[in-house]
Structure 1
């Protein structure tokens, strides 16, 4: 069985394995992607923020504690929605249970729209970027991360369980569906080149202000070995865009 979008997270076995993996002390999401994303976002005081694919809601909690006045999120997984609503109970927050392709984006409602490692699960990003553009206030920002295209490129499957020490970068300019075996499940992702992300964003009307490939910093790793391994290949690609 192949899982698309957020469906895998509603498989209880996958969900349990993912949560354990996600909360590792040196999870790359925590020590590589998040610091750069948070730097791009900057001060959120007084902002209305929409988060596309909020997961368990901890990022929303961070933003609310940093001073945003309203946090909304869209999440396709029922398991994730339930835990996010518990995390953000009694906060100025709303968690909408919907896939992004079907959600009715409001018009000019947000100062900032974020998304962490979601867009590479979506087959057609063009209407999503159009909807995001319309949902932002004038001069509003879109800041998001995706899995780096060098990781999504190859059509050769790997188990996703072993601690990798080498990477096969192949089929880079062949955009489209990839099936990755991750935590013993077949998960569908969609490969795009960096250039393709650039064109999709600019066609929607966005001005790209910054990008990052989230290089590792030695201070965030307990061993020289793990730091050296993370220096070998980029894991993430971040964009900071403005309407």
Structure 2
């Protein structure tokens, strides 16, 4: 069975395994991606923030602790939504159970839109980029991360079990649907080249301020072999854009 968008997380066994993986000490999300997304977000104090595909609200907790004005989390998985409700007990936080595609984007309402590793589930990135642009206030900021296109180009490497030390890059310039064998299920993602992400953001009206491919920082790794393995290939691609 193929799972599209956030639906895989409503498979209870998949959800439980994912949460264990996501919050383990050596998670690359925590060690590699998170420090850079926080750096790109910068000073969030007194900002109204929209978090698309907010998951269990982990980023929301961090943002609230940094003094934001308001937090609106959008999540399409009921399991994730319920977990976020448990985690985000704060007057600044509001949650909505809906997908990025179905969310009603209010005009010029947010200072910052953020999304962590969720946009690669979206088929129509062009429409999403335009929706985000119009929901941002003037001089507002979009910061997001996706699975790196070198990985989403082909999931052939995922067919073997165990730790990978070699990765297959194939069909890179053919954008579109990919099906990843992940945590025992078939999960649909959408591949785009770096150039495609860049041009789509430009066409929506954004100024691209930063493009990052986070490199592992040795100080965060207790296992030197794992650090060296993570130096082999970029896992994440991040953008910081502004509406001017």
Which of the five TM-score ranges fits, normalised by the shorter chain? over 0.9
Query: Runs in 1 of length 4+ with deviation above 6 angstroms?
Result: none
Cα distance change of structure 1 residues 67 and 54 upon mapping to structure 2, 3 Å threshold: same
Q: CA deviation at 1:157?
A: 6.0
Contact 2:155–2:181, Cα closer than 8 Å, also in 1: no
Cα distance in 1 for partners of 2:223, 2:20 equals: 21
Q: CA deviation at 1:160?
A: 7.3
Cα distance in 1 for partners of 2:157, 2:41 equals: 34
Q: CA RMSD in A?
A: 1.1
Q: CA deviation at 1:158?
A: 2.1
Contact 1:159–1:182, Cα closer than 8 Å, also in 2: no
TM-superposition CA deviations, 1:162-211 (whole Å, max 9, x none): 21111001111111111110011000011000000011100000000001
Aligned to 1:171: 171
Contact 1:70–1:92, Cα closer than 8 Å, also in 2: yes
Q: TM-score, normalised by structure 2?
A: 0.97
Q: TM-score, normalised by structure 1?
A: 0.98
Contact 1:107–1:135, Cα closer than 8 Å, also in 2: yes
- In structure 2, the gaps of 5 or more residues are none
Number of aligned residues: 243
- In structure 1, the gaps of 5 or more residues are none
Contact 2:54–2:115, Cα closer than 8 Å, also in 1: yes
> In the alignment, is residue 47 of structure 1 matched against residue 60 of structure 2?
no
Contact 1:147–1:237, Cα closer than 8 Å, also in 2: yes
Aligned to 1:132: 132
Aligned to 1:143: 143
Secondary structure of the 2:156 match is coil
Aligned to 1:107: 107
Cα distance in 1 for partners of 2:161, 2:57 equals: 25
